[in-house]
Amino acid sequence: MPGVSEESFRLIVETIPGLIAVMTPAGEVEHVNGQVLEYFGRTLDELKRWGTSDAVHPDDLPRVIAAWTHAFATGLPYEFEHRMRRADGVYRWFQLRGLPLRDDEGRIVRWYVLMSDIDERKEAEEKLRRSEADLLEAQRLSHAGSWRHDLASGAFMVSPEVLRIRGVESADPLSTIDRMYSGIHPDDRSRVKDTYEAAQRRKGEFDAEYRIVLGDGTIKHLHTIGHPVLNESGGVVEYMGTGMDVTEQREAQAALEKAFDEINRLKDRLQDENLALREEIDQASMLEEIVGASAALKAVLSHVSKVAPTDSTVLISGETGTGKELIARAIHKHSRRADRAFVSLNCAATPPSLIASELFGHEKGAFTGAVQQRRGRFELAHSGTIFLDEIGEIPMDTQVALLRVLQERQIERVGGSRAIPVDVRIIAATNRDLSAAIAAGTFRSDLFYRLNVFPIHVPPLRKRPEDIPMLVEYFVKRFAEKMAKRIRQIEKRTLELCERYRWPGNIRELQNIVERSVILCTGDTFSIDEAWLSDQGPLRPDGSDPLPLTLHGQEKDMIESALAKSRGKVAGARGAAARLGIPPSTLESKIKQLGIVKRRFTNVT
């Protein structure tokens, strides 16, 4: 990924019109575009030694070094004019403008420098000082026209260069100040007028930058300065000044700013892709292949092969550790979206207060800590697949937002109001009984029916015992290669123990035990400590509660009684958690576990 970002960055720099240099925070030349190399006739390595070469005119070099040193020390934008040596040995005047690029913590990571050849402008300025006769030519070369405003008569006089800049053939359309104002862009007109009148009241200099609109609709940028002329009594009788066409400079600046935005966009995209990549790496401890030949597994794989080519929403159910995410990835891999992103989110591992932001993203300032705009998992998965693991743990308010996404195929970031369309295939998974959650009021039935388009149930490992030897062999080979161990055979007694064991943790438990045994294995025969497969408590029946029914009921009664006294309030000095003497987060977990509906107690008197 860094290579893609660097390639894009260099491509952007190469396409910006003008001479562009990129420098490190320490002031060393890092990269220049092709126009710089061609203009100066030097290699990048030669340009990196500009401070000790003749690239800068010797008379200007001390001032240039001092100016750059000050810019890098203060972090302030750099603007300086000096002479530089062209490829043919001629020194020409350049204006250099340097802007720092900062990271999210405010540190400077690069300097971008735009070099504008101003030798013609310098020459024009020199001619103005030498001879009044060269004034018109100098104005033409520098794209600067002179003007004069008689305050008493209101007459406005301009040079031929002003006419050219304004796109008119005669001075008549510019003969009064009001006619001059009429050619200014409507959004800038009042500001320029107020600035000029304020300069007149204080008898001071006039300086303004604004846009003008030509007859054909073309917009130009002008920078105008004016100097007051006083009579013997100290009153202002007229203003004389110069207007310069700075359109090219502004367009170059806009292109540079656009490049900055594009670099930041690529940076954000790289961060997003890194996030998805990190999540894939986190799955490295999972099965790399679906292993097994049992009838139960073949039925699951048959469903996968049928639903994968479609865009239908899939709801995968099964006990923890059965490989539900692996099934989800298999569906994505065999779908038309296989070459796009697969983005996952474990809803149970995400704090309820942050899950909406994780799913839909947020705008800057949407909540405390939201210091910048952030894209959510749905946007990251655009054109691909999103996998929502432990969907039964999503809070009710987020369920409503998720239902809207399923219905309308668009999202709104937290703190935002703009609908963002998303093209995403949704695969959800749960180890909970969603029907029971619906009955308890903790899961919306309409969301369930939207998700349950194509249900797939992954059987627990104890329901596919014929796959256990294959899984043991697979994991032994995998971990032995990883740890550079040579294991030639698997102890028969170990396989018998594994086939008899109930595996409450399913494939994940089997994987962990095999990895632990490979670590401890010292010979070429693999075996598992029998105690590891017998000390586990008896497996409770599917769907049974871990607490005795009487204790279960007593705990539920105590919590409901406390909620009734607090009118459904959990936290706070008078909340149910304080009455029971437990943390609010623990009580919320218990309420969810026991299927208690808090809103039943809000109106209790």
Average pLDDT on 565-587 reads 80
Q: Across-strand partners of 411?
A: 420
In Å, how far from its chain's centre is CA 36? Answer: 32
Domain that holds residue 386: 286-311+321-450
Window from 139-148, 323-332, 336-345, 349-358 with minimum mean pLDDT = 139-148
Q: What confidence score (pLDDT) does residue 582 get?
A: 77
185-192: average pLDDT: 92
Report helix, strand or coil for 586: helix
Last residue of a domain, which of 482, 508, 533?
533
* CATH code, 352: 3.40.50.300
The answer as to whether 495 is a domain residue is yes
Same domain membership, residue 304 and residue 426: yes
Is there a domain that residue 580 lies in? yes
> Is residue 457 scored above 80 in pLDDT?
yes
Least confident of 168-172, 184-188, 326-330: 168-172
297, 468 in Cβ contact below 8 A? no
Residue 369 lies in a domain: yes
Identify whether 230 is part of a domain: yes
Nearest to 393 by CA among 419, 338, 336, 431: 431
Residue 137 lies in a domain: yes
Give the CATH number for residue 220.
3.30.450.20
Q: How far apart are CA 397 and CA 382, in angstroms?
A: 23
Domain-embedded: residue 299? yes
Per-residue pLDDT at 203 exceeds 60: yes
Supply the CATH number for residue 510's domain: 1.10.8.60
Residue 188's pLDDT is what? 92
> What pLDDT shows up at residue 560?
81
Q: Are residues 326 and 415 in the same domain?
A: yes
Same domain, 86 and 132: no
192 pLDDT more than 80 = yes
Give me the pLDDT at residue 441, please.
86
Question: In terms of Cα–Cα distance, which of 14, 273, 244, 4 is closest to 118?
Answer: 244
pLDDT higher at 39 or 554: 39
Once rounded to an integer, what is the mean pLDDT over residues 467-488?
91
Lowest mean pLDDT among 165-169, 181-185, 299-303, 465-469: 165-169
> What percentage of the chain exceeds 90 in pLDDT?
26
Q: Which of 408, 426, 450 is the last residue of a domain?
A: 450
For residues 420 and 411, the answer to whether their CB atoms sit within 8 Å is yes
- Kindly state whether residue 420 falls inside one of the protein's structural domains: yes
Task: Based on the fold, state whether residues 10 and 136 are members of the same structural domain.
Answer: no
Whether 9 and 84 share a structural domain: yes
- Same structural domain for residues 338 and 486? no
pLDDT score recorded for residue 537: 46
Query: Do 39 and 132 belong to one domain?
Result: no
Compute and round to an integer the Cα radius of gyration of the chain.
Answer: 37
Torsion of CA 15, 17, 23, 28, to 10 degrees: 110
Task: Find residue 358's DSSP bridge partners.
Answer: none
What pLDDT score was predicted for residue 273? Answer: 62
Q: What is the pLDDT of residues 388-408, one digit of tens each?
A: 999 998 888 889 889 888 888
Per-residue pLDDT, averaged over 125-137, amounts to: 62
Residues 140 and 104 in one domain: no
CA 99-242-60 angle, to 5 degrees, is 45
Between residues 261 and 233, the one the model is more confident about: 233
Tell whether 375 and 423 lie within a shared domain.
Answer: yes
Arithmetic mean of pLDDT, 254-264: 79
Lowest mean pLDDT among 221-225, 250-254, 325-329: 250-254
497-543 pLDDT, tens digit each: 898 899 998 999 999 999 999 999 888 999 998 888 874 444 444 44
CB atoms within 10 A of CB 195: 14
Residue range 341-364: mean pLDDT, rounded: 86
Does the pLDDT value for residue 474 go beyond 50? yes
Residue pair 82/94 in contact by the 8 Å Cβ criterion: yes
Beta strands in 103-183 (DSSP E): 108-117, 144-150, 156-158
Q: What is the mean pLDDT of the chain?
A: 83
As a whole number of angstroms, the distance between CA 21 and CA 96 comes to 10
- Mean pLDDT (whole number) for 569-576: 82
In this structure, are 293 and 392 located in the same domain? Answer: yes
Domain final residue pick, 415, 450, 485:
450
Residue 371 has pLDDT above 80, yes or no: no
Tokens of 138: 């100098």
Domains of the chain: total: 5
Residues 417 and 290 in one domain: yes
Does residue 272 lie in a domain region?
A: no
pTM, two decimals, is: 0.46
Residue 545's pLDDT is 44
> So what's the pLDDT on residue 460?
93
Same-domain pairing of 505 and 520: yes
